Chain A
Amino acid sequence: QKEVEQDPGPLSVPEGAIVSLNCTYSNSAFQYFMWYRQYSRKGPELLMYTYSSGNKEDGRFTAQVDKSSKYISLFIRDSQPSDSATYLCAALSGGYQKVTFGTGTKLQVIP
């Protein structure tokens, strides 16, 4: 079993929809949770990270962590075609520890 599980999709939504991307994890020691966006033929780009449980908002993006259920979510409001990419969740137990990634969910936002 992978430490971080993510539905690979693909997920297709119409422009303007609210997108929900989710991951589960098994390692109780994870404290930092990150979301990366990766466009085709590019390296991943950090969107945001959260520490421990709770919500964090940045523009149209909201990250949510529920440590009790070991569930990580990313919500995208008013989705745009430019949001079409693969979204990777990731986690680590301490700032200097290795990062464990999910396999990524491919999102397509249709105009």
Chain B
Amino acid sequence: KAGVTQTPRYLIKTRGQQVTLSCSPISGHRSVSWYQQTPGQGLQFLFEYFSETQRNKGNFPGRFSGRQFSNSRSEMNVSTLELGDSALYLCASSFRTNNNEQFFGPGTRLTVL
């Protein structure tokens, strides 16, 4: 079974731009969660989508948004990028209600200049 895939793997943007990241979950998994990982703050939860509906949300500003498609693939968007948005963005998938068994993708490394 293929694992979680994320595209692109690396991205360089400038302040004020917007970015869209993509995540394809493991086949059969319907839940996709997004996390931001930085050296100082560690892994911070952004949001989770299940069956195209946002099920949980973290404490991030409205510039961070996401969506999920009918095939469970998910995208997250960050508008008006700030220097502090530079981070590794990870997505994780799980089967239905099993968030205790999440499987992570390799992440997208976003650098904001």
Residues of A bordering B, CB below 8 Å: 32, 34, 36, 41-46, 49, 51, 88, 90, 92, 94-104
> What residues of chain A lie closer than 8 Å to B43, measured between beta carbons?
44, 88, 90, 101, 103-104
Partner of A104, one of B42, B97, B104: B42
Q: Are B99 and A101 in contact, with the CB atoms below 8 A?
A: no
Closest Cβ neighbor of B98 among chain A residues: A95
List residues 76-113 of chain B with CB under 8 A from any CB of chain A: 90, 92, 96-107
> Nearest 5 pairs between A and B by C-beta?
A43-B104, A103-B42, A32-B100, A101-B43, A95-B97
Interface residues of B, count at CB 8 A: 28
Binding site for A on B (CB under 8 A): 4, 31, 33, 35, 41-45, 48, 50, 55-56, 58, 90, 92, 96-107
Contact indicator B100/A98 (Cβ below 8 Å)? no
Asked, given contacts A32-B100, A43-B104, A45-B104, whether A98 binds B45 with beta carbons under 8 Å apart, the answer is yes
Are A43 and B106 within 8 A (Cβ)? Answer: yes
- Contact present for A92 and B99 (CB under 8 Å): yes
Bound-complex Cα distance A90 to B44 (A): 11
Q: Is the CB of A98 within 8 A of B33?
A: yes
